[in-house]
Amino acid sequence: MLVHAYAAPAATEPLVPTTIERRDVGPHDVLIKIEYAGVCHSDIHTVNGDWGPQPFPLVPGHEIVGIVERTGAEVTRHRAGDRVGVGCMVNSCGRCANCRGGDEQHCSEGMVPTYAGTDRDGTTTQGGYSTHIVVDAGFVLSIPEGLDAAAAAPLLCAGITTYAPLRRWGAGPGKKVAVVGLGGLGHVAVKIAHAMGAEVTVLSQSLKKQEDGLRLGADHYYATSDPGTFTDLAGRFDVIISTVSVDVDVNAYLNLLALDGALVNVGAPPGPLTIGHAFLLTQPRRVLTGSMIGGVALTQEMLGFCAEHGIGADIEIISGDQINDAYRRVLASDVRYRFVIDAATLA
Ligand code: NAP
Ligand code: ZN
């Protein structure tokens, strides 16, 4: 089936309208008519070659919400007419210990990313900046009633990427959580950490978005451009989630952790993360770790949590011809707080 999409023809080139082929609906597949696709900073890293060579032409997009049009004969979980979502992966081996443990994103054979990956049939995956997608039913999430379709789309990546480490590292009542960077991931992290009951602090480059940060659920807001921030907050936090998309000095943030606190890096900047000295991890004892999206079951749990707490992303809906401008604005930290493409404008 030939469908409309927006693709990057080559690295760093602007995206252009195109058509791509979607595979026939197999017995385990779901055909989804896409309603909305979020613009994640990872799409921009990928297109810009920050993460190495990619298969071009490339259709990005891994924050997908739409309506099921058709299902394969073996599919029981989803039916035509259901509202569903697809995140950053569309397949995995399903047999290894990590897959069986619910960490399909860490499949030992390699999970299949939603775009720029090699699917199990050998074809290159193409993402959600498109009118339709065909996905194995095991990687199709149910969107709970009550979540707005457009505001839910970013939850499929930004939501699970922040929910997973907040849950794992115990964000909740009595815990002090800091979120570094108030962008797509960061603003969802603030909402989720607040809903989990934690005391939330935003660490942003400036105080420009302070009012928004407090409205989103933060209790405190500091500018990282002010050196006083790093002395005032030394030893303060139980959990710090860094969503920064550029190379970042993790040492400054390690110093803000309390005993046994964890600095979780979820940003994916191109350069190395360098630890200045072992004492930063030992005096006091601290954890430096990372996190990548989350498994299928945890993603479904996150969607339920967000529906229960009325959490969606704060979004600006754009049409296909505004994607390149949206990329420029994300790179300039001028996003409030996620661009979401209306897929109806791609045809
Ligand atoms: P985003 O909307 O662009 O947010 C990134 C934030 O980083 C910005 O809003 C900005 O916050 C801060 N920032 C940007 N430039 C900075 C600079 N020069 N110095 C300090 N801070 C700066 O991007 P996103 O979509 O949230 O993604 C964030 C990162 O997470 C990207 O690298 C992305 O690839 C990665 N990611 C990882 C996963 C995963 O599974 N681990 C999943 C999705 C995305 P302030 O303006 O508030 O300072
Ligand atoms: Zn993403």
- pLDDT attached to residue 187: 98
Tokens of 19: 């058509």
Tokens of 202: 């935003």
Residue with tokens 């990928």: 46
The CATH number that domain 2-157+312-346 falls under is 3.90.180.10
> Would you give the distance in Å from CA 136 to the centre of its chain?
20
For the chain, the average pLDDT equals: 97
Find out whether the beta carbon of 333 lies less than 6 Å from any atom of ligand 1. Answer: yes
Ligand nearest to the CA of 127: 2
Tokens of 275: 């630890």
> Would you give the distance in Å from CA 238 to the centre of its chain?
22
Give per-residue pLDDT as tens, 70-129.
Answer: 999 999 999 999 999 999 999 999 999 999 999 999 999 999 999 999 998 899 999 999
> Would you give the distance in Å from CA 18 to the centre of its chain?
25
Distance in angstroms (rounded) separating the CA atoms of residues 206 and 68: 43
Give per-residue pLDDT as tens, 281-329.
Answer: 999 999 999 999 999 999 999 999 999 999 999 999 999 999 999 999 9
What's the helix, strand, coil split of the chain in %, to 5? 30, 25, 45
What are the structural domain ranges in the chain?
A: 2-157+312-346, 158-290
Domain made up of 158-290: CATH architecture? 3-Layer(aba) Sandwich (3.40)
The H or E element containing residue 281 is: helix 279-282
CA–centroid distance, residue 246 to ligand 2 (Å): 15
Are the C-beta atoms of 175 and 166 separated by less than 8 Å?
no
CA–centroid distance, residue 159 to ligand 2 (Å): 9
Give per-residue pLDDT as tens, 20-79.
Answer: 999 999 999 999 999 999 999 999 999 999 999 999 999 999 999 999 999 999 999 999
Distance in angstroms (rounded) separating the CA atoms of residues 38 and 36: 7
Tokens of 139: 């990687």
CA–centroid distance, residue 111 to ligand 1 (Å): 23
Find out whether the beta carbon of 264 lies less than 6 Å from any atom of ligand 1. Answer: no
- pLDDT attached to residue 42: 98
Distance in angstroms (rounded) separating the CA atoms of residues 293 and 101: 15
If DSSP states are collapsed to H, E and C, what string results for 105-146?
Answer: HHCCCCCEECCCCECCCCCECCCCCECEEEEEHHHCEECCCC
